[in-house]
């Protein structure tokens, strides 16, 4: 079979750009494998230390031994199989269809040469053949090509799948050991909670009116935060959609908006609430601002992902008529996104109602504040009343939003 070098597919680019693309792919593949193996080694060390010594330590051997071993295993893995990094980047090492022993010999030679030219990256930087092959690949008679489906006789090339399964299983085991999962206590300790359940299931109706007033504040807080978020998230979504941002400036704006939204979304609303309480003083308004900021980041992500999946046909057809950008957006994009946008907005309002109960922990006058106070005082009959109000609200919103989303389809 006539195989092409993976970097050779970009024939329209200059040689130096092909070389840079080649170097970038190889370094990214190796870096991915190194991180994957280092994580695997760390998790395995933790499991061994917990089972053998009952200590939460992630180290068995000195760190420098792990570093060297991880580098060597990564190089060996990439030479003899398809590693996780190579799988993600869609490449593999190939040397033709020679006899198995000759093929294994070439791969072993590549691994030996890789220790000389690959680790210091000299073989990548000073690669010839228009940047298609590194020094250790050329000397061993191998090349990096576009990944092909492995044959049934070469199961070793599917090592990435086995490794991925192993790391997932190891992570679950390590998480269970780290969090000290005790299934015996789980199945035998339930009767101890009987008194709490009895109190929760017999709510104190004397605090109903007080809880209902706080519940109204909760709903209005979520509603106002969602309404404000739509105004900012809708235009920002066009700047955060990859298919609508072109050129260098467009890519810069796309990266900045995406990164900013990711940072904002990673900060919990309760932290934003604390910031805004200091900013605008105690009241319901800090809760509105906290949910608003988080909603903008979340809706921008949801909206932009929907924009990235629109059908380009209508957009190109309208643009071909010489229409202005505003007309392209109005008649080519908006009809495709209006229903999903409404559905996402309703869903976010539902989420904000639930989040509004949480920010009551920092003093925002929503129903979560009463829930927290009664819990601290161990007044579980009153806690049961607050939970009943929250349950009725969440169920009602779930039902209404489900009906509305069904109508919008």
pLDDT in tens, 333-392: 888 888 888 888 888 988 888 888 888 878 788 888 888 889 888 899 999 999 999 889
- Contact call for residues 76 and 111 (beta carbons, < 8 A): yes
Question: Does 220 lie in the same domain as 152?
Answer: no
Total domains, the chain? 2
117, 245: one domain: no
Q: Which two tokens stand for residue 337?
A: 């996104």
- Is 160 part of a structural domain of the chain? yes
Q: Which residues of the chain have pLDDT under 70?
A: 1-20, 96-98, 117-132, 148-158, 405, 408-409
Q: Is residue 126 part of a domain?
A: yes
Domain match, 268 and 141 both: no
What b/e sequence results for 335-374 when a residue is b if at least 16 CB atoms lie within 10 Å of its CB, and e otherwise? Answer: ebbeebbebbbbbbbbbbbebbbbbbbbbbbbbbbbbbeb
User: Where a domain ends, among 151, 169, 187?
Assistant: 169
Domain that holds residue 100: 6-169
CATH number at residue 379: 1.10.3720.10
* Contact of 80 with 95, CB cutoff 8 Å: no
DSSP 79-140: HHS--HHHHHHTEEEE--S--HHHHHHHHHHHHHHHHHHTTTSHHHHT-BGGGTB-HHHHHH
For residues 326 and 202, membership in a common domain is answered with yes
**pTM: predicted TM-score of the whole model, two decimal places:** 0.68
Residue 1 located in a structural domain = no
Which tens digits make up the pLDDT trace of 115-172?
876 555 544 545 545 456 777 777 787 877 777 655 444 545 567 888 888 899 999 9
Question: What pLDDT shows up at residue 237?
Answer: 92
Q: Are residues 164 and 73 in the same domain?
A: yes
* Inside any domain, residue 285: yes
- Phi, psi (degrees; rounded to nearest 5) at 344: -65, -40
71 in a structural domain: yes
pLDDT for res 6: 42
Rounded to whole angstroms, how far apart are CA atoms 363 and 248?
A: 45
Q: Are residues 278 and 378 in the same domain?
A: yes
User: Which of 153, 169, 185 lies at the terminal end of a domain, its last residue?
Assistant: 169
Residue 82 sits in the same domain as residue 224:
no
355 and 220 in one domain? yes
Last residue of a domain, one of 150, 169, 188: 169
328 within a domain of the structure (yes/no): yes
Please tell me whether residues 261 and 132 are part of one structural domain.
no
**184 falls within a domain:** no
pLDDT at position 7 is 39
| Beta strand segments in 162-217, E | none
154 with 300, same domain? no
Same domain, 203 and 103: no
Q: Is 141 in the same domain as 73?
A: yes
Instruction: Classify residue 303: in a domain, yes or no.
Output: yes
Closest CA to 75 of 21, 129, 49, 111: 111
- Length of the chain counted residue by residue: 409
pLDDT of residue 406: 74
Instruction: Let me know the angle formed at the C-alpha of 179 by 177 and 180, rounded to the nearest 5 degrees.
Output: 60
């Amino acid at each position: 079979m006539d195989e092409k070098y993976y970097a050779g597919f970009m024939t329209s680019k200059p040689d130096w750009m092909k070389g840079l693309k080649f170097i970038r792919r190889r370094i990214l593949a190796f870096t991915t494998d190194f991180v994957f193996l280092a994580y695997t080694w760390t998790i395995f060390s933790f499991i061994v230390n917990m089972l053998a010594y009952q200590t939460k330590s992630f180290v068995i051997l000195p760190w420098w031994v792990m570093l060297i071993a991880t580098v060597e295993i990564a190089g060996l893995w990439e030479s003899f199989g398809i590693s996780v990094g190579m799988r993600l980047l869609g490449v593999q090492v190939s040397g033709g269809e020679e006899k198995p022993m000759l093929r294994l010999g070439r791969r072993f030679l590549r691994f030996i040469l890789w220790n000389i030219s690959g680790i210091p990256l000299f073989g990548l930087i000073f690669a010839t053949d228009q940047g298609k092959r590194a020094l250790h690949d050329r000397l061993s008679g191998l090349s990096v090509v576009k990944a092909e489906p492995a044959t049934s006789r070469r199961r070793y090339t599917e090592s990435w799948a086995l490794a991925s399964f192993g790391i997932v299983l190891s992570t679950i085991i390590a998480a269970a050991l780290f969090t000290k999962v005790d299934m015996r206590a789980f199945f035998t300790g339930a009767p101890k909670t009987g008194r709490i359940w009895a109190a929760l299931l017999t709510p104190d109706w004397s605090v109903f009116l007080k809880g209902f007033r706080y519940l109204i504040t909760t709903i209005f807080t979520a509603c106002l935060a969602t309404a404000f978020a739509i105004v900012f998230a809708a235009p920002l979504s066009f700047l955060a959609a990859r298919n609508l941002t072109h050129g260098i400036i467009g890519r810069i704006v796309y990266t900045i908006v995406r990164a900013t939204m990711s940072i904002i979304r990673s900060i919990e609303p309760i932290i934003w609430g604390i910031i805004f309480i200091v900013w605008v003083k105690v009241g319901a308004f800090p809760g509105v601002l906290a949910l608003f900021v988080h909603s903008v980041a979340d809706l921008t992500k949801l909206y932009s992902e929907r924009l990235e999946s629109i059908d380009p046909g209508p957009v190109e057809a309208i643009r071909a008529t010489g229409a202005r950008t505003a007309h392209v957006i109005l008649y080519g994009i908006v009809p495709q996104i209006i229903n999903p946008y409404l559905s996402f907005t309703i869903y976010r309002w539902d989420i904000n109602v639930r989040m509004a109960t949480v920010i009551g922990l920092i003093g925002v006058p929503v129903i979560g504040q009463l829930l927290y106070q009664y819990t601290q005082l161990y007044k579980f009959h009153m806690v049961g009343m607050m939970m009943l109000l929250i349950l009725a609200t969440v169920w009602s919103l779930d039902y209404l939003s489900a009906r509305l989303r069904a109508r919008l389809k």
